[in-house]
Amino acid sequence: MFTGIITDIGEVRALERRGDLRARIGTRYDMAQVDLGASIACDGVCLTVVDMGNDWFDVDISAETVARTNLGGWSEGQRVNLERSLKVGDELGGHIVSGHIDGLARVVSVAEEGDSTRVTLRAPEELARFIAPKGSVALNGTSLTVNEVYGCDFGINFIPHTKEVTTWGNVAEGDDVNLEIDTLARYVARLAEMSA
């Protein structure tokens, strides 16, 4: 489990196609404090550390994950949002995030509003019903509040701090973004279906 609060921006150092995709990610994490087999969310995808060094770790990305996320589009030198898994007693600053991506949202517009950036994204139709104004979503692993919803489109406002400590400072129209809907929203929708 994660919180959607990004704690490092990593860099893809190497990609190798095996049976799966192996990625080496550079990090500022103290890898002496990370166990082999630990979970680290990489752009919101929960991945397992399979090898590590002083300032890097390797993950294997299955064909299923490549097909359902934007990780198949990674390239060497790309920056990625990182978060280590939640420990008992940690502050829950965002919302509960599983690291299991529901689908891809596409950035349809980017506009500067003062020091902030307003981004409109389009969710897949089957996921749009789970997104509500003032609700939470995780986008590329970042816990964010939804401003407004119009059909499949929804708006997010990125403050300067978020743009500085995540990869969101480089967002561009046409980007595909890993989308994880709020688990609570999924359960509320299920209960509403059952009572209808």
In this structure, CATH architecture of domain 8-84: Beta Barrel (2.40)
Give CATH for domain 103-195.
Answer: 2.40.30.20
DSSP 109-178: EEEEETTEEEEEEE--HHHHTT--TT-EEEETTEEEE--EEETTEEEEEE-HHHHHHSGGGG--TT-EEE
Q: If you ran DSSP here, which 8-state letter would residue 186 be given? A: H
Which pair of tokens denotes residue 119?
Answer: 């981004």
Q: Assign 71 to helix, strand or coil.
A: helix
Q: Which residues of 122-148 are buried (b: 16+ CB within 10 A; e: fewer)?
A: bbeeebbebbbeebbbbbbbbbbebee
Q: Assign 9 to helix, strand or coil.
A: strand
Give me the pLDDT at residue 92, please.
Answer: 72
Give me the pLDDT at residue 19, please.
Answer: 82
**CATH 2.40.30.20 domain extents, the chain:** 8-84, 103-195
Give me the pLDDT at residue 133, please.
Answer: 94
pLDDT tens, residue order, the chain (196 aa): 899 999 999 999 999 998 899 999 999 999 999 999 999 999 999 999 999 999 999 999 999 999 999 999 999 999 999 999 987 767 777 788 999 999 999 999 999 999 999 999 999 999 999 999 999 999 999 999 999 999 999 999 999 999 999 999 999 999 999 999 987 777 777 777 777 6
pTM: 0.93
Distance CA 176, CA 185 (A): 22
Which pair of tokens denotes residue 64?
Answer: 């299923």
